[in-house]
Structure 1
């Protein structure tokens, strides 16, 4: 389950299991609950602080838990709505946020990464990818809005319609991330960036973020069951 560590005034939310490097960090319902619980802990803290979202091993996050979905198809709309709350929470989080993308970020995992304020990606391994077009999986209204809001338009078109896998240098050139560095430098670079912003923490920052992302947050709040969403569209 996701866990927290702290580097000075910077909280680091690790998406995987402590002591393990082989987790795909998929959006299982229990995993999403744990992410929210750790974010609750960060919000309950006091004083200047920032948040880095990180992972260990091969994956940053491999996205939706497809195995859980196909075992619980009746619960799909609610499951997707729950995944949207992860994105919304980070978009309006009252602390500065930085994603340390040290491994593959696929599907909803890629969307999680771009829900933070800033992104640092590994330049020598790992991909940012939206593979839904190849999997026969449509994007929800909220997911489409997130990608189109957070990525340059032509990058969003290419990423969504081709399933291109962007390495770190390609992601930097495409405007997906702001920094691409060797693997050992991803987390320290993200922490350094976050540490420079700790004084920004507070309700005013959250208000500014909500004003920036207002229309996107509204789209992410649309109930999936009301949109006629289904696989195979």
Structure 2
């Protein structure tokens, strides 16, 4: 892992802090409950580029500010679009192009080599819920809430929700959450498998960082390749996954991490990565 130097970077509508190999990306638009904007999507693009370029970053935490994770789409901007007379903005293709741009970013976020944790405090509504579902793990505060609020404004789920949610909760429950547009509290989110764990609000950040630090001891190459296989497993036939498995394993067994891990095992030294006994790892 990297040293103790802390990078604190103010972006357009977010803040990126990097310390000890862990990046924390915080939405910084609390007055709008951290609603999604073009600037925030640009910030995510910059975040992803930094993680690709900096191999010392071994984990990512996504969170909000002001007691809200992300309220989803900005209703104010939707109202402004309705009042606009520019045909390029009011046309249907404007929405399609905007979502295509978001999905390019989400695909990159989902395919990051490093584990991604969404630390959800307060509401994660609409596209904000979809954003949280792109993380590998959701840790929720006791006051966290989730809602696919799209039907309330006559819209369909976006930001990948139709793909991610049924794979977590099953098709019938996903349809129920979409069509009712009802609120799901932290306790139910845990029961449905949406949240991995629930924590007191004042402990959420510490718990997310503790998990990220433990995962950071693991093999970045293997984590990234395993994530890609698992993320595509539901729609990929066995033969294709088997071929991907062989290629991924060839990469992993040629890595420096693998060589060091084998050497330690043969010498009777503690494993580089031992989730059950983290104190034994380097």
Distance change in 2, residues 1:201/1:38 (3 Å): farther
Query: In the alignment, does 2:226 pair up with 1:208?
Result: yes
Task: Answer yes or no: is the 8 Å Cα contact 2:127–2:158 preserved in 1.
Answer: no
Pick from 95, 107, 110 the counterpart of residue 91 of structure 1: 110
Looking at structure 1, the residues matched to 203 and 64 of structure 2 have their Cα atoms a distance apart, in angstroms, of: 13
Distance change in 2, residues 1:50/1:22 (3 Å): same
The CA deviation at 1:120 is 0.6
Q: What TM-score results when the alignment is normalised by the length of structure 2?
A: 0.69
Pick from 134, 158, 169 the counterpart of residue 152 of structure 2: 134
Looking at structure 1, the residues matched to 117 and 205 of structure 2 have their Cα atoms a distance apart, in angstroms, of: 10
User: Aligned residue for 1:228?
Assistant: none
Looking at structure 2, the residues matched to 147 and 174 of structure 1 have their Cα atoms a distance apart, in angstroms, of: 10
Query: In the alignment, does 2:52 pair up with 1:67?
Result: no
Runs of 4+ off more than 6 Å = 215-218
User: Aligned residue for 2:21?
Assistant: 9
Q: What TM-score results when the alignment is normalised by the length of structure 1?
A: 0.82
The C-alpha deviation readout for 1:172-213, integer Å capped at 9, x for no partner, is 112110111111111111111111111335343222222222
Structure number with higher relative contact order (C-alpha < 8 Å, ≥ 6 residues apart): 1
Q: Show structure 1 runs of 5+ residues with no match.
A: 219-233
SS in 2 for 1:200: coil
For the pair shown, the structure with the greater C-alpha radius of gyration is: 2
Query: In the alignment, does 2:63 pair up with 1:54?
Result: yes
Pick from 152, 158, 162 the counterpart of residue 180 of structure 2: 162
Looking at structure 2, the residues matched to 203 and 216 of structure 1 have their Cα atoms a distance apart, in angstroms, of: 22
Looking at structure 2, the residues matched to 52 and 9 of structure 1 have their Cα atoms a distance apart, in angstroms, of: 11
Distance change in 2, residues 1:217/1:113 (3 Å): farther
The C-alpha deviation readout for 1:66-102, integer Å capped at 9, x for no partner, is 3334513331101111222333222211111111001
What is the RMSD of the two structures over their aligned residues, measured on CA atoms? 2.4
SS in 2 for 1:119: strand
Q: Show structure 2 runs of 5+ residues with no match.
A: 1-12, 82-88, 237-282
Number of equivalences: 214
User: Aligned residue for 1:173?
Assistant: 191
Distance change in 2, residues 1:141/1:45 (3 Å): closer
SS in 1 for 2:23: strand
